[in-house]
Amino acid sequence: MSLFLFMLLVSILNPVVSHKSCDFPAVFNLGDSNSDTGGYASAFTPPTSPYGDTYFHMPARRFSDGRLTVDFIAEAFGLPFINAYLDSVGTNFSHGINFATAASTIRLPISVIPNGVFSPFYLGFQYSQFEQFKVRSQMIRKQEGFFSNLTIQEVNASIPDIINKFSANIKNIYNLGARFFWVHNTGPIGCLPYVLIAFASAEKDPAGCLKPYNEVAQYFNLKLQESIAQLRNEFPSAAFTYVDIYSVKYSLFAEPQKHGFELPLVTCCGYGGEYNYSAAVLCGGTITVNGTEIFVGSCDNPSVRVVWDGIHFTEAANKFIFDQISTGSFSDPAVPLKQACQS
């Protein structure tokens, strides 16, 4: 079980600039399951129905019922959805590539699939893939990763090294010619059902989330913001936009009704218990109860639910998140996504 799930999103963009908005001809994404559009499915096992049912009406190699935030970003620029680098047979990469795979980390993973829990395609490996592809492309974007099996104290102690690895990869990408970076901090991991179940005895906050684990995320975000400030000083010709996605996501758990959601801590596609989640049977699987086989499917109305499968967000939540962050209201500096080239 992963103890620390964080999400970083770095858009490194090479745009054509107009007076009002930026013309981004392609998007290149590095990350894990929050932005994986088919990498894990190509390398390992694809998610099955009801994944993808809301928008695609079929499994779409994504860990949600529909579109991800990266899909909405592509749509905002009038681009098609970004294909996975690992799904390279007959694929059109003229509008960008997605190097993300589920369960990826920033640092070299301690164990990898199939015997371990992490993807072998960690950030450094994804950077190498991008470097090899660089001659055929013009821009890039990066996202999240998993962390696991450590105490809170050990995770906090490891954060400076994680940030150093992150910064080193950003510098490498800068050296390949990137100048525009769109960076998301990590979300409130203490609100995810799989964490709520795994560490049920931890102190809860008024929203019902686990306070110590959200404090870990906040500490990581503090160090990330400090690293972005250092990168700005080191590379004054580049633009770094830091996006507070933590606040946006936490608002879904703290004030769900205000945003049109309900039961924010309860998994939409899951089975059992207070949070409708069990690590023993996941979304799309089956469980036998009193001799009857039960399929673990979607809730009746995922459009008003926050958490899809206990770890990832629903399409509706992803759309809400995109709508908030794309305006620049949660950015430092406060520039909209389409004007990130001018920050």
Catalytic-role residue among 2, 11, 32, 33:
33
Chain mean position to CA 112: 19
Q: What percent helix, strand, coil does the chain show, rounded to 5?
A: 35, 15, 50
Tokens of 103: 């369960």
Q: What b/e sequence results for 234-260 when a residue is b if at least 16 CB atoms lie within 10 Å of its CB, and e otherwise?
A: ebeebbbbbbbbbbbbbbbbbebeebe
- The rounded distance, in Å, linking the Cα atoms of 221 and 96 is 28
Return phi, psi of residue 190, to 5°: -70, 0
What's the length of the chain? 343
Catalytic-role residue among 32, 184, 309, 326:
309
Residue 312 a catalytic site member: yes
- The rounded distance, in Å, linking the Cα atoms of 124 and 108 is 8
Q: What b/e sequence results for 137-175 when a residue is b if at least 16 CB atoms lie within 10 Å of its CB, and e otherwise?
A: bbbbbbbbbbbbeeebeebbeebeebbebbbebbeebbe
Rg (CA), the chain: 19
Residue 227 near residue 162, CB atoms below 8 Å: no
Catalytic-role residue among 35, 227, 312, 331:
312
Catalytic residues: 33, 309, 312
